[in-house]
Amino acid sequence: MVREVYIVGNWKMYKTAREATDYIEKLVPKVEGFKLNIYLAVPFTSIAQATSFAKQTQIVIGAQNMNDARDGAFTGEIAGLMLKEAGASFVLLGHSERRRLFHETNEIVHKKVVRALQDDIQPILCVGETLLERDEGKAEEVLKEQIMHALEGISKEDASRLILAYEPVWAIGTGKTATPKMAEEAHSFCRDVLIELFGKKVGQSISILYGGSVNADTALQIMAQKNIDGVLVGGASLDPDTFAAIAAHCIHK
C-alpha cells in the first residue's frame, strides 16, 4: 500500500507574518522538486500572507487549532470557515499542548475533527501518551481511546481525508525521541486501530506521522520504519535549512 508522505512543520507561537514570508522565500528553493507533501502549521495571523507567498509552490499552509463551533459568541476563538477563507488547507487537532495546557478532552477533539471535515479543512489528529502512562503500561490503551473517541462516527470517506500523528508527550520539545523501534510499534498499533474502525482499505491508506524532537539526525531512521509515513516537526521546523534537511530525509520513502 503506497501512502502519501508528509513533512509538517508546527511553528507553535513563533514567527510574525513578516518572518513567515521570509522563511517561505528561503525554504522554497531548498525543497524544489521534492516529491513530498510539505505542510506548515503557522500562527493564525500568518495564514493569509503565508498562503499568498506559498502560491505556485508546493508548500501548503494550515493552522494549529480551531473551535468546534461553526460560529458564535466565543470571544477570542477562531472558526474553521475563517481559517479556510484565510487560506488554511489543514489544521492540527488534539496536539498535546492543547490537551495539557488548554484542557482539551477527547470529546472536544472529536467535535473539532467533525467540524474541520464539515468545513473542508484536512484534520491532522494528534495522539500520544505521557511518560507516566507509558511507564504504567497504558500507552496502547490511551492511544486507542484517543483515536476511537476522536474519530467516533466518522465515515470511511471522511476518514480517508485525515492524517494521524503519533506524538509521545514525553518526546515533545524535550530532545528525547522515541527509538525508531518504539515509534514503529506505536504506529503499527495505531494502524490496527484505524483498520478496526474503518476497514482494511481505508485504515491502511491513512498516513501516520511521527512527532517528538525530530531533527535532521533522527529523521532518516524514523522514516525507514514501515508504518511511519512522515514527520511532524516542532522546534526543528523553525529554521528553513534544518527543515529542508529533514525533508530531504523523507523523500526516499
For the annotated catalytic residues, the residue numbers are 95, 167
80 sits near ligand PGA (criterion: CB under 6 A): no
Told to check if 213 binds ligand PGA by CB under 6 A, we report yes
Among all chains, which residue has been given the C-alpha cell 496502547? 140
Query: Least Å distance between CB 237 and ligand PGA?
Result: 7
| Region 6-25 residues binding ligand PGA, contact defined as CB under 6 A | 10
* Closer residue to ligand PGA in complex, CB, 46/213: 213
Q: Give 113 or 233: the residue with its C-beta nearer to ligand PGA.
A: 233
Please tell me the count of residues contacting ligand PGA according to CB under 6 A.
13
Helix-helix angle 139-150:180-205, to 10 degrees: 30
- Per residue in 187-215, is it b (16+ CB within 10 Å) or e — as a string? bebbbebbeebbeeebbebbbbbbbbbbb
- 222 makes contact with ligand PGA (CB under 6 A): no
Measured distance CA(144)–CA(72) in Å, rounded: 32
Nearest approach, Cβ of residue 97 and ligand PGA (Å): 7
Amino acid identity, position 45? T
139 Cβ neighbours under 8 A, 6+ residues apart:
129, 133, 168, 186
Nearest of 156, 155, 130 to residue 141 by alpha carbon? 130
Q: Which is nearer to ligand PGA, 9 or 203 (CB)?
A: 9
Q: Which range in 16-24, 70-78, 146-154, 208-216 contacts ligand PGA by CB under 6 A?
A: 208-216
Cell of 29: 528553493
Nearest residue (CB) to ligand PGA, 109 versus 198: 109
Element (H, E) at 243: helix 240-250
173 lies in the binding site for ligand PGA (CB under 6 A): yes
Contacts with ligand PGA, residue ranges (CB under 6 A): 10, 167, 172-173, 211-214, 232-236
